[in-house]
Amino acid sequence: MRDRGWWFGAALSGALVVVAGAFGAHALEGQLAPRMVAAFETGVRYQAWHTLALLVVLAWRSTASLAGQRLAMRLWAAGMALFSGSLYAMALTGVTSLGMITPLGGVLMIGGWLALAVAVLRARPEGQSPSGSA
């Protein structure tokens, strides 16, 4: 299976989204300051959307592989780890200085979207040869 590791990672990320979402909704409510619960929920939300994006790009790669798709997925994966991971850690430990990591993860996720945009712009229309003639 092509991209087996990516499919596995996306599946684990999806499972973590459900676990973290349930944990945040049931275990953290009333235990943490509302600001920390909101930070945790933001991490869950961004991880969920980027996990979905990974799955879409993986499905797309099975029919049309573009040069920048893998870079976008790498940037999203690193961005989720830093962005969501730092928010989870900050909420659970109360160490607010971990919030300094969060913007780095956001930049990586934005970079993933820009890498995907560039990949699409560089892709040749179907049936077009590298020289531009069909």
- Measured in whole angstroms, the distance separating CA 32 from the mean position of its chain's CA atoms is 25
Q: What is the pLDDT of residue 109?
A: 98
Give residue 133's pLDDT. 53
Q: How far apart are CA 51 and CA 72, in angstroms?
A: 12
What's the whole-model pTM score? Answer: 0.89
What is the pLDDT tens value at each position of the chain, 134 positions in all?
789 999 999 999 999 999 999 999 999 988 999 999 999 999 999 999 999 999 999 999 999 888 899 999 999 999 999 999 999 999 999 999 999 999 999 999 999 999 999 999 998 766 566 555 55
What is the structure's pLDDT at 41?
96
The pLDDT of residue 107: 98
Instruction: Tell me what pLDDT residue 126 has.
Output: 64
pLDDT of res. 96: 93
For residue 124, the model assigns a pLDDT of 74
What does the pLDDT read at residue 79? 98
Give how far the C-alpha of residue 5 lies from the chain's centroid of Cα atoms, to the nearest Å.
15
Phi, psi torsion values for 63, nearest 5 degrees: -115, -30
